[in-house]
Amino acid sequence: MLKSIPSFKRGEYQQTYKKLSKENQKVIDEYGVYCCAKKKVSDEKILDMKRNVLKFKLVVGKDFIKTDLEDLRNYLSILNLSPLGDYTKNDMKVHIKKLLRWLFKDWSKRFDEFNDISQNTNPIRMRKFKDKILTKEEIEKLVRTETKMFWKAFLITQWEGAFRTKEIRFLKWSDLKEDGDYYSVELYATKTKKERPVVLNESKFYLDKLREEQENKNEKGVYIFHQTNDINKPVDKSTTSMWIKRLSKKALGRVIWSYCLRHTRATEYRRMVKEGQMSKDNALETLGHSEKMFEKTYSHLDIAEIKEMLKNQIYNFEDIPPERKHKLEEEIKLLKKEVELMNKGFINLLQNKKIVGAEAVKLFLKMKKGQLHPNIVPTP
């Protein structure tokens, strides 16, 4: 019997599974099939279930069919004292309870009606986002440092759309609906049981470049961000995790995970809510969030209106389409000229009225702050 909950690095699950007896392998495989009987479950989710079951087997140290109440209690004691997060512990308990109910017809008597299995009703996330929120400059730095269009597009799209990592991994080309300078996507948020509108503006440039690149190389498949060896399968979670860790360490000098991109966008929405630029309910609906601790009433703003609202709430990046960049540069030049003329005119007014020294500085600062009209200077 193990003294701690094991963890599997990439490939270790299969290696450990193959060392099991045929009977124990059969239990794990049939449990996976059982979990899919009532509803559709992704291959990734099934693998997670099987990992949890195998960890239970390794900790108990017995064949599945020989498990008793003492084994369950020992396992729960080790699990509760482990450094794993509350959400992970809850998930593991759910699957062990489900496994034992399926495996033993006399589960109620054998395991004392599972009275020992209790989930944390107020779970706390292990990962703290406080130091992981990115600034606009840091996102730009990540984009500049990344050399592959595949990952540039992944990064910008996840950030701008506030996608969960799984959502963007499973994003398909057919999900994108072109609307002028924008792409719109409608996702189904499982938490709120509603359609979640997503509008992509800056991402469109990168997505179009990626589409062109994939078509030229004959690598365009079902999923936008696909596996290297199979263009019709989404990029896997471990590949995404390794990529963002390496990139962030190189570009920022610290490690982040991809969910930080969504959290950064969500933080920006919260700021907009605070400043009255977006209602809290609309922000939650756009993010696909469900906040059980707050009583809220959705404003029932329809998806088209939310899209229009989001189109006006996008950051600008250095790496933008050339024609748009040129237009912005020209506008900035004109604004700079206006500021220079305004400053020069105000200074001339000060000199004409013989206002110098500290008083001149004081009036100039007032003008810069908009507290004084640039063409009007009070007589000393």
Is-contact 319 144, C-beta < 8 A? Answer: yes
- Fold classification of 136-311 is hpI Integrase; Chain A (1.10.443)
**What's the mean pLDDT in 101-119?**
92
Phi and psi angles of residue 37, each rounded to the nearest 5 degrees, phi first: -70, -40
Q: What is the pLDDT of residues 342-354, one digit of tens each?
A: 666 666 666 676 6
The confidence score (pLDDT) of residue 351 equals 67
Side-chain half-sphere CA neighbours of 376 within 13 A: 4
Give SS3 for 179. strand
* CA pair distance 291, 84, nearest whole angstrom: 24
Q: Report, as an integer, the average pLDDT of 80-84.
A: 87
C-alpha closest to that of 185 among 195, 164, 204, 199: 199
Alpha-helical runs (H) found in the chain: 12-18, 22-35, 43-60, 69-81, 86-103, 107-110, 136-145, 149-161, 165-169, 202-216, 237-252, 259-274, 280-287, 303-311, 322-352, 357-368
- Pairing mode, strands 194-200 and 177-179: unpaired
Quote the distance between the C-alpha of residue 316 and its chain's center.
20
pLDDT for position 314: 47
The whole-number average pLDDT for the span 308-312 is 57
**230-243 pLDDT, tens per residue?**
999 999 888 999 99
pLDDT of residue 191: 55
For residue 184, pLDDT over 80 is answered with: yes
**280 neighbors 296 (Cβ within 8 angstroms):** yes
* Three-state SS letters, 236-256: CHHHHHHHHHHHHHHHHCCCC
Segment 20-49, tens digit of pLDDT:
999 999 999 999 888 888 777 777 788 888
| The pLDDT value given to residue 291 | 47
Domain ranges of the chain: 12-114, 136-311, 322-368
For residue 125, pLDDT beyond 50:
yes
* 64 DSSP assignment: G
CA angle, 59 as apex, 55 and 61 as ends, to 5°? 115
Which of 105-109, 289-293, 305-309 is the least confident region? 289-293
pLDDT greater than 60 at residue 290: no
Q: Highest-confidence range of 46-55, 184-193, 288-297, by mean pLDDT?
A: 46-55
With 80 as the cut, is the pLDDT of residue 205 above it? Answer: yes
What does pLDDT average to over the chain? 79
**Residue 164 above 90 pLDDT?**
no
Distance between CA atoms of 194 and 26, rounded to whole angstroms?
39
Residue with the bigger pLDDT between 369 and 82: it is 82
What is the pLDDT at residue 315?
47
pLDDT of 332: 72
pLDDT over 70 (residue 341) = no
Matching residue, tokens 């064949």:
63
Quick one: how far is CA 47 from the chain centroid? 22
Q: Shortest CA distance to 206 belongs to which of 325, 320, 323?
A: 320
pLDDT-derived band of residue 264, with 50, 70 and 90 as boundaries?
confident
Measured CA distances, 275 to 15, 159, 269, 287 (Å)? 54, 21, 10, 18
